[in-house]
Structure 1
Amino acid sequence: MQSWDDLRIFLSVARSETLSGAGRLLRMDPATVGRRVARLEEAIGQALFVKSPVGYTLTEAGTRLVDHAERAEAAMQGASAVLSGDAETLSGQIRIGAPDGCANFVLPRVFADLSKANPDLDLQIVALPRVVNLSRREADMAITVSPPTATRLSYQRITDYRLHLAASQSYLASRPPITGIADLHHHRIVGYIPDMIFDKELDYLSDLNLDRVALASNSASVQLQLLRQHGGIGIAHDFALPFAPGVTRILTDALSFTRSFYLVRHAEDRRLDRISRFAKALVQAIRAEVARLETLL
């Protein structure tokens, strides 16, 4: 039976895929990390990684060990919470990964309120224009726009949200009138960089047969700022529009989208009372905040 310290080092290398990255996570010299990995492989009699100049890749044996190590990690975190008193109060550090639209416009107020209610809790938002990798522990849990496919992850739907075509009033006043979807072909379109759309649920414009996105970004927040600067017409989250004075929805009867946010975490984390109680509070707060922002339109 391997010690938790051995498994902790193994997991860090598996998630970072380099000795230097694992060393930073562990606050340990990379050479020491390498020796510990070699010692673990010798002890179990199997190679856990394929080493190359670009990093460490899990072998089949290493992939199997990840499941065992993550269960041990969850057990250790649960024991730590009980011993430190975290089972009774929300404290410590929790990191949430989220798409940048949610991170910029929904989570700030939610996290500020949760922090006020739990003064010993340190909250971190990782805003990325891609799916956060929970397997590499980039975050403790993630908010996504599609449910995960990995079997080691669990998820719950948080809430629906709505999106519509939008443009600045100044842009609309200076351009030909828009009475239908066909008129969009005569306007500058703001949207995602086509080859950087990381989730099919974000491919809003494909069904409109628009052959050009004149102003594009992989960030929903940047797209909203382009609309504010009179750049053109694009799809905007209803919950973000209160933060964009002068930007208004158009063709609401002709085109609208409904999408969902999901809270994703490791299946083993459901056994951690502290994480589960935080997840419940987070879901309730996000539902309330999305509803509040959408009623401001």
Structure 2
Amino acid sequence: MLDWDDLRYFVALADHRSLSAAARTLKVDHATVARRVAALEEKSGLRLFDRRARRYLLTGQGLRIAEHARRMEAEVFALERGLIEAAGETPVEISVSAPPVLAASLIAPRLPAFYAEHAHIRLHIGTEARNVSLTRREADIAVRLSRPSDPQLVIRKAGQVCYRLYGSPAYLRSREPADYVFIAFDELLDDTPQQAWLKQMAAERAIVLRTNDLGLQCAAAAAGAGLAVLPDFAAAAAGLQAIGGETDEVRRDAYITYHEDLRGSTPIAATASFLAECVGTGSGRRPAE
């Protein structure tokens, strides 16, 4: 008899075509994915993948099994979403995915007030940089800085995150603009609007630090390592000074989104409203120059 867990690992590998990518999605190590898929092939007596270097390509038999397994997976996720909707006042855990800086700066400080009003809800907040799949229930609700395109999702605009160029007051006093150096994301986030804007401003000047941790960017800028493009609320907390005029900014719309199956869920509605309020209060905060 086939094991559903084996099928779940098989679908992840079929979707991502590499052990490492499937493992990141499932939050396990790649050896576990390989072992589960091998177990499924042994139990079924079928060769499901052609293994080519670091890529796994579905065989004809694998394509047929994957079609059935995805339908099974969709039904399981729909059942799990239905359990949330029916939870009522019994304790329920809601999984939230949010950008790290929004989770730490805007959501976490307001959690006590949320729990005081909704004692039966427990939040699990994940802060991965990637966009998780709500259809596959990698999270129940997501806070995103780009509008999702999946037609199965409920999408609510919650506000805007304003990015400006910031440095420490001491750094700005001690240097001429021609001598500024910069702190940036690494190449994985080169396609974000704020990174493209920073690279345009940096031109031929040096980027002395690359990191995808906005907390580290704030700390480095506060220490005088260089200038960084940061959200207003994060820069305010770090005591940084904005450079440029009112139009020298990048604004990104923030969205709260969840699967349409959860539209009637009271815990989901309460959590979504809370997240929208958190993001909304973080819009448009600019430290004094």
Query: Aligned residue for 1:229?
Result: 223
Query: Aligned residue for 1:145?
Result: 145
Deviation at 1:190, TM superposition (A): 1.6
Closer/same/farther in 2, CA of residues 128 and 70 from structure 1, 3 Å limit: same
Query: Aligned residue for 1:281?
Result: 273
Q: How far apart, in 2, do the equivalents of 1:252 and 1:92 lie? A: 47
**Pick aligned residue for 2:242 from 246, 249, 252:** 249
1:270 paired to 2:262: yes
Q: How far apart, in 1, do the equivalents of 2:133 and 2:90 lie? A: 24
Where 2:207 maps in the other structure, the secondary structure is coil
Where 1:106 maps in the other structure, the secondary structure is helix
Deviation at 1:244, TM superposition (A): 0.7
Q: How far apart, in 2, do the equivalents of 1:135 and 1:128 lie? A: 17
1:220 paired to 2:214: yes
Deviation at 1:228, TM superposition (A): 0.9
Deviation at 1:187, TM superposition (A): 0.7
TM-score, normalised to structure 1, is: 0.72
1:14 paired to 2:5: no
Closer/same/farther in 2, CA of residues 93 and 227 from structure 1, 3 Å limit: same
Q: How far apart, in 1, do the equivalents of 2:287 and 2:90 lie? A: 31
The one-character-per-residue Cα deviations of 1:71-113 (angstroms, maximum 9, x if unpaired) are 422442255346xx61x23732222222222122122124343
Deviation at 1:170, TM superposition (A): 1.2
Deviation at 1:251, TM superposition (A): 0.9
Closer/same/farther in 2, CA of residues 254 and 131 from structure 1, 3 Å limit: same
Contact 2:232–2:286 (8 Å) recurs in 1: no
What value does the CA root-mean-square deviation take over the aligned residues? 3.9
Query: Aligned residue for 2:285?
Result: 294
**Pick aligned residue for 1:208 from 179, 201, 220:** 201
1:50 paired to 2:41: no
Deviation at 1:196, TM superposition (A): 2.0
The one-character-per-residue Cα deviations of 1:202-247 (angstroms, maximum 9, x if unpaired) are 42323335233122212222111111111112211012123212x1
Deviates more, 1:214-223 or 1:199-208: 199-208
1:157 paired to 2:157: yes
The aligned amino acid for 2:201 is L
Contact 2:143–2:254 (8 Å) recurs in 1: yes
Closer/same/farther in 2, CA of residues 161 and 50 from structure 1, 3 Å limit: same
Query: Aligned residue for 2:173?
Result: 173
The aligned amino acid for 1:160 is Q
Q: How far apart, in 1, do the equivalents of 2:116 and 2:216 lie? A: 29
Please list every run of 5 or more consecutive structure 1 residues that lacks an aligned counterpart in the other structure: 177-182
Query: Aligned residue for 1:132?
Result: 132
Contact 1:90–1:274 (8 Å) recurs in 2: no
TM-score, normalised to structure 2, is: 0.73
Q: How far apart, in 1, do the equivalents of 2:125 and 2:200 lie? A: 33
1:101 paired to 2:95: no
1:76 paired to 2:79: yes
Contact 1:192–1:216 (8 Å) recurs in 2: yes
Where 1:239 maps in the other structure, the secondary structure is helix
Q: How far apart, in 2, do the equivalents of 1:54 and 1:35 lie? A: 19
The one-character-per-residue Cα deviations of 1:241-276 (angstroms, maximum 9, x if unpaired) are 23212x111213351111111223344x43561464
Contact 1:92–1:121 (8 Å) recurs in 2: yes
Please list every run of 5 or more consecutive structure 2 residues that lacks an aligned counterpart in the other structure: none
Identity of aligned residues (%): 17
Where 1:147 maps in the other structure, the secondary structure is coil
The aligned amino acid for 1:220 is L
Contact 1:226–1:232 (8 Å) recurs in 2: yes
Q: How far apart, in 2, do the equivalents of 1:242 and 1:192 lie? A: 20
Closer/same/farther in 2, CA of residues 131 and 78 from structure 1, 3 Å limit: closer
